[in-house]
Amino acid sequence: MIGPVALSYDIDPAKRLVVITGDYADAVEWQQLLAALLNDPRREPGLAFLRDLRGGGTPVDASTVVEIITVVRRFWPLFQPSRAAIVTADPLDTAALVAHALADSQGLPIELFTSYDAAVDWLFSNDPPRHPRSASCS
C-alpha cells in the first residue's frame, strides 16, 4: 500500500505556471514547500499557481486549512502570483471549499475547480474572480 505523497512543485517557465501536487498536508509542510519554492532560481514574480488535489487522500480539517492559509498569506507578497487555483476531483471537498472561502474573505485571487483545464484557462484569462456563493465548481 502506498502512503501519503509529500507536497512537491514544478515550475513550467514557458507556461509561467507553478503546479503543486501531493497529498493534503499541514501548515509545516506548506511552510517548507513555499520556502523551497521561494529560493528556486526559476521562480519569478507573476507566475500562476495551481494546487492539484485530484490525487489527494484524506482531507485535512478546517483548523489546519486556516493555518495553511496563514502560511500562504505570508508568502503571497513574496511570490507576487498572478492568480491561483485549486483543482479537486470532489466538488464537495471540505478542505478545498474552506481554503477557497478563506482566500476569498482575505482578497486572495484563489479559485476552486473540478476541471484541470478550466482552472488553467481561468489562470491565464482576464476573467474576474468568480464569487464563491454564486459560482458552481467548474
Confidence of residue 2 (pLDDT cuts 50, 70, 90): low
pLDDT tens digits along 61-120:
999 999 999 999 999 999 999 999 999 998 888 899 999 999 989 888 899 999 999 999
Residue pair 54/91 in contact by the 8 Å Cβ criterion: no
Condensed to tens digits (0 to 9), the pLDDT of residues 35-65 reads 999 999 999 999 999 999 998 877 889 999 9
Q: What is the pLDDT of residue 135?
A: 38
Question: Pairing relation of β-strands 17-21 and 48-52?
Answer: parallel
Mean predicted confidence (pLDDT) in 8-37: 95
Give pLDDT tens digits for 121-130.
999 998 776 6
Task: Report pLDDT for 38.
Answer: 96
Distances in Å between the Cα of 120 and the Cα atoms of 45, 107, 123 are 18, 20, 5
**Gap between the Cα atoms of 39 and 102, Å rounded:** 26
pLDDT value at residue 109 = 87
Domains in the chain: boundaries? 8-123
Pairwise CA distance, residues 61 & 44, whole Å = 32
Joined grid coordinates for residue 124: 491565464
DSSP per-residue codes, 18-30: EEEESS---HHHH
Q: Which fold has domain 8-123?
A: Transcription Regulator spoIIAA (3.30.750)
Q: What residues have CB less than 8 Å from 78, skipping those under 6 apart?
A: 38
Question: Cα(26)–Cα(29) distance, rounded to whole angstroms?
Answer: 5
